[in-house]
Structures are given as structure tokens and as C-alpha cells.
Structure 1
Amino acid sequence: MIKAERQQLIITHISKDQKVLLSDLSTLLNVSEDTIRRDIKELSDQGLVKAVRGGAISHSPIPLHFRDREHYDVSHKQIIAEKALRFIKDGQVVLFDSGTSALAVATHLPKDCKITAITNSFPVAAVLEDHATVEVIFIGGRLNKTGFSTSGYDAIRALSAIRADICFLGICSIDIDLGLTGIDYEDSQVKRTMVEHSKKVIALSTLEKIGTAEHYKICSSNAIDTIITDIDPAHPELLPYSQAGIEIV
């Protein structure tokens, strides 16, 4: 089998299973692990996969622009949002990031909810405008035109002065070893600051984001208290997270 065929098979297996192991591919393709390691490095250099210790994982399949993400996987985000409501209590200070899953949670908030909502997301702030008993604090900064959100030094400085009860992160990618990662550098910095200034951090994730990774680190997996997902908490893909002490809902 020539190199191009091997690499295409590696991509196919990662697309199907989200991750591959050097040892498994070596056996499957009847080549050495060093050969597979070189193939994965080439694919990683091309941005097609993410090389990790012992194998490779896929990049997040989620669209980049907010307009595209808003209409992507809507029914699954509704499931996540409904589960998330149980964590919100009157009197809390709640951080919502710029993810569309966090927007879904904000959209499902009862009209009589009495919280202080802090966000860097224009859509989240707009959704909460007609919630008379929700105090909305919008975090200013540099406009991220693809994310309809703010980022940069001013946003980070404002968030650093806050101690929230809960932070809802609509994540891009999560891996038990690599933690939470994002596509955009500045947005990832904002999310990291939200994590650092929240008592409880809740990651909102559909199944396809589990076991994937991007370029910019947000936080380690052990910084997450709860993962709310659209699938059964007993799903095998979630087992490493529950074993690490993370609550799965």
C-alpha cells in the first residue's frame, strides 16, 4: 500500500471514530508504528488531523461562523439547554460565553428568572433583553465579526473583576488529555478567563466534539466540573471524563 492510500485510510478511520491509535493502525495496515507516526505528522502539518501521544484525533467538525453554527445541530442543543436549566437558581451570577449552545441555554431561561447574566455574546445579550428580572452585563472589547462577540484585553480585564457562580461554555473541542481547546486564539483567552473566575464550570458539548482538539488551549479537563451533553451519560465516549471525577449530565 502506498503512502497516499495509507494516509487516506487514517483520515477515514479518524472521521469515523474521532481518534486512532498508532498500535491499531500499525496492525491494520501491516506497517511499523514509526511509519504511522510519520504519516500522522504529515497529516497534522496539513491541518487534517491533530497528532497526540500514541495516535491522532480529529479536529472539531463545527462550522466557524456564528451564522452557520446557530443553525447547526439545533435539536441537540435544545436537549443540552433543557438539561442546563436545573443548575440555574435565582440570585446567581451566571457567565455565558459566545457559543451557540450557551445561547440555547439563555434562550430557554424562564421569563421570571432572577439572575445576573454576564456575557461577551451579542446574541445572548439580545435574547435576554426581554427578561425583565434578568440583569444583563455585557462585556465590551474588540468585535469578533465571525463570532458576534467581544474579545481582547478589555474583555479579559472586565472578566477578571468578576466571580461568577456558574459559567456555561459552549465548547468547540474537548479531549480528556488535551482539555478544552478552541479555534480562535483571542476567544480561547476569553473562555479561559471565564473558567478562572467561576465557582462552577459547565461545558456544553454535543457528542461530535468529544475527543477532538484544536490549536488553542482553554483549560485542562480537571478545570471542568460538569459536562452537559445530548447523549446518555453512560455513553462509552464519556467514560474517561466520569472516571476523572467530572459530572456527566
Structure 2
Amino acid sequence: MKKEERQKVILEYLSKEHRVTLLELSEYLNVSEDTVRRDIKELSDQGLLKAVRGGAVAPSPIPHHYRKREKHDIENKKIIAEKAISYLKDGQVVFIDGGTTSVALVASFPYDLKITVITNSFPVAALVEDLPNIDLIFAGGKMCKTSFTTASIDTIDFFRNFRADICILGVCSIHHDRGLTGVIHEDSQIKKTMIQNSNYVIALSSIEKVETAESYFIGPISNIDVLVTNASPEEEILKAYKDSGVIIV
């Protein structure tokens, strides 16, 4: 089998299984593990998968730019928002990041909800403007035009000055072994700081992001209290998260 054919088979296998080991591919393709390792490195360099120790995992299929993400999978974001809204109560201080699913949640806020929102997201801030009982504290810093958020060391330092009751975290990629990861370094560092300074963390993720990984580590799944998806909590792909103590909604 030629290299191009092997690599196509590897990507097809990974799209179905989400994670694959060198040994599995070696046996499946009837080639050496060294050959598979070289193929995985080439595919990883092209951004088509993520090489990990002993194998590979799939990258997130979600577009990177905010303008493309905001139009992606709108109905499932509404489902996630409906599930997550019950965790918000009057009087809470809530961190909200710049994920488009987080924005969908804010768009579903009841008009009379009384909380304090601390965010670095321009779209979140624009939505909160119309809600009379929500106090908004905006994290300054350099704007990231890919995510429409502030994302700099100033932003990180800002979040360190607060302790939130709840952190609403939009997920880029989540994997039971690799943890939470992101595609933008500064954004990933901000998410990490938000988690560290929150009493309770709710991660919002469409099911297609589950068991995927990106380049920048945010934290292990043990950092999450609740994972809200658009799928049934009984889906087999979510079992590893349940087993780790994460509440699946």
C-alpha cells in the first residue's frame, strides 16, 4: 500500500475511533510501527490529526475563526444552552469565556436574572448590555480578532483578581486522557486561569468535540465539575468522563 493510501486509511480510522495506537494501526495496515509513526508525524504536521505518545487523536472539526464558528451547529448550541441555564442562580459571580456556545447560553438568559458576569468576550458583553439586572465586569487587554476576545497577560492578571462561583467554559477540544486543549495559546492560558479561580466549572461542548485534542493544554478533565453536551449522557463516548467523576448533562 502506498503512503498516500495508508494515510487516507489512518484518517478514516481515526474519524471513526477518535483515538488510535501505533500497534493498532500497524496490525490493521500490516506495516511496521516505525512506518505508522512516520505517517502520523506527517499528518500531524499538516494539522490533520494530533500525534500523542503511542498513537494519535483526532483534532477538533470546529472552524477556528469566531465568524465561522458562530454560524456552525446553531441548533445544538441552543440545546446545550437550555441544559446549562439551570445552573445559574441569582447572586452568583460568573466567569464566561469567549466560546460561541457560551455566547448562545448568554443569549438564553432570563430577562430578570440577577448575576455578575466577568468576561473577556465582546459578543458576551454586547448581549449583557440589554439585561438590566446583570452587572458586567469586562477584562481588558489586547484583542484577539480570531476569537473576538481580549487575550493577553493583562487579561490573565485581571481574572486573577476575582473568585467566581461558576466558570462557564466553551470547549474547543476535550479528551478523557489529553484533557482540555485549545488552538490559541493565549486563549488557553486565560481558560486555565478562569478554572483556577472558580469554585465550580461547567464545560459546554458539542459531542463532535469530545475525544479530540489540540496543541495547547488547559487542564485535565478532573478540573471540570459538569460537562454539558447536545447528546444523551448515556452515549458510550461519554462513559470515560462519567467514570472520572464528571457530571454529564
TM surpasses 0.5 = yes
**SS of aligned partner of 2:199:** strand
Give the corresponding residue for 2:182: 182
The one-character-per-residue Cα deviations of 1:88-110 (angstroms, maximum 9, x if unpaired) are: 01100011100001001111110
Bigger mean CA deviation after superposition, 5-14 or 98-107? 5-14
Q: Aligned-pair distance for 1:164?
A: 0.2
Give the corresponding residue for 2:163: 163
- Residues of 1 paired with 2:55 and 2:24: CA distance? 9
Give the corresponding residue for 1:114: 114
Give the corresponding residue for 1:75: 75
Give the corresponding residue for 1:50: 50
- Residues of 1 paired with 2:154 and 2:23: CA distance? 47
- Residues of 2 paired with 1:223 and 1:130: CA distance? 32
Residue 18 of structure 2 aligns with an amino acid whose one-letter code is Q
**SS of aligned partner of 1:211:** coil
- Residues of 2 paired with 1:163 and 1:94: CA distance? 9
Give the corresponding residue for 2:246: 246
- Residues of 2 paired with 1:192 and 1:75: CA distance? 28
- Residues of 1 paired with 2:216 and 2:107: CA distance? 28
Bigger mean CA deviation after superposition, 198-207 or 15-24? 15-24
Give the corresponding residue for 1:150: 150
- Residues of 2 paired with 1:217 and 1:28: CA distance? 30
Q: Aligned-pair distance for 1:65?
A: 1.0
**SS of aligned partner of 2:190:** helix
**How much identity, in percent, do the aligned residues show?**
54
The one-character-per-residue Cα deviations of 1:138-163 (angstroms, maximum 9, x if unpaired) are: 11110111211101111111100110
RMSD value, Cα? 1.1
Q: Aligned-pair distance for 1:221?
A: 1.2
Residue 177 of structure 2 aligns with an amino acid whose one-letter code is D
- Residues of 2 paired with 1:65 and 1:29: CA distance? 36
Residue 174 of structure 2 aligns with an amino acid whose one-letter code is I
Give the corresponding residue for 1:211: 211
Residue 164 of structure 1 aligns with an amino acid whose one-letter code is A
Unmatched 5+ stretches in structure 2? none
Unmatched 5+ stretches in structure 1? none
Q: Aligned-pair distance for 1:193?
A: 0.7
- Residues of 1 paired with 2:120 and 2:82: CA distance? 22
Residue 106 of structure 1 aligns with an amino acid whose one-letter code is V
The one-character-per-residue Cα deviations of 1:121-154 (angstroms, maximum 9, x if unpaired) are: 0000111111111111111110111211101111
